Amino acid sequence: MNRLGLIAGNGKFPIMAAIAAKQQGINIIAIAFVGETSIEIAKHVTKIYWIRIGELGKLFDIFKKESIFEAIMAGQIRSIHLFKPWLKKDSALKDILKKVKDKRGDSLLDALAMELNVRNIKLLDSSFLLKDCLAPKGLLTQRKPTDNELGDIEFAKKIAKEMARLAVGQTIVVKNKAILAVESIEGTDAAIKRAAKLGGPHAVVVKVSKPNHDMRFDIPVIGLKTLKILKKSRIKVIAIEAQKTLLIDKEELINRANKLGVTILAFEV
């Protein structure tokens, strides 16, 4: 492989993927989204095209022009944009929206993958460049969870997995075996903030992947921004699914968590 398309969403995941590709001698042709993708990514790719959310036809045209036959998606494009009155949908996006059975993220991503496949573009596992950044099983930080916190994690795991199966969200926040918040379309950070407002400090965050998760799409991630939200919310524990969660800035993340006294525990379901 010497050329790879990158559909770059928000956050640091697409930047990490681009850097890893460059280190492996892969030329990245990136499609970035105005107002969503970090401008920093331009430093790390061979070529970049900026389009607006809703301009799906341009994405197809760019990959055709650049002779891209393999691509990855890295970083999220928030589906809440679909409900914004300012969003201008081109004919390609309108066609996809007519075909999907609902507007859940999974349905939209599956439809996009099918449209790319029709155009001879294969979507690859978006973590294949960053296998070392997937969370290994076990306690990743110095602080051990208390018995009460372990009880909350066990209580929350199956519930979180079921919410993920239903494509409601992949994160829940619990305290003393009571559910404070279930992530929905607003995203993980907002769900944690909502839980802290409702239940106060010392809750537990549990984040999972969907059952039979398609690793081409929307891999769960945690990073320094997550720690910042946890600190502000006075939450000391986040439990994540091993080998299915990407650790952004892995070493710094763990070092910072240790300084803050935050537990990061990776479990298998």
Q: What is the pLDDT of residue 100?
A: 86
More confident residue, 214 or 244: 244
Does the model's pTM come out above 0.75? yes
Task: Check pLDDT > 80 for residue 155.
Answer: yes
What contacts 189, CB < 8 A, 6 or more positions away?
225, 226, 229
Task: Check pLDDT > 80 for residue 79.
Answer: no
Q: pLDDT over 90 for what percent of the chain? A: 78
Number of residues written out for the chain: 269
pLDDT in tens, 163-197: 999 888 999 999 999 999 999 888 899 999 999 99
Q: Taking the domain 134-267, which CATH number applies?
A: 3.40.140.80
Q: Calculate the average pLDDT of the chain.
A: 93
Q: What is the pLDDT of residue 159?
A: 96
pLDDT in tens, 21-68: 999 999 999 999 998 999 999 999 999 999 998 999 999 999 999 999
Contact of 209 with 199, CB cutoff 8 Å: no
Task: Check pLDDT > 90 for residue 122.
Answer: yes
22: left (phi over 0), alpha (psi -120 to 50) or beta: alpha
Distance of CA 241 to the CA centre of its chain: 13
What's the CA gap between 63 and 97, in Å, rounded? 21
What's the CA gap between 203 and 89, in Å, rounded? 40
Q: Where are the domains of the chain?
A: 3-123, 134-267
CATH 3.40.50.20 is right for the domain spanning 3-123: yes
Q: What is the pLDDT of residue 78?
A: 73
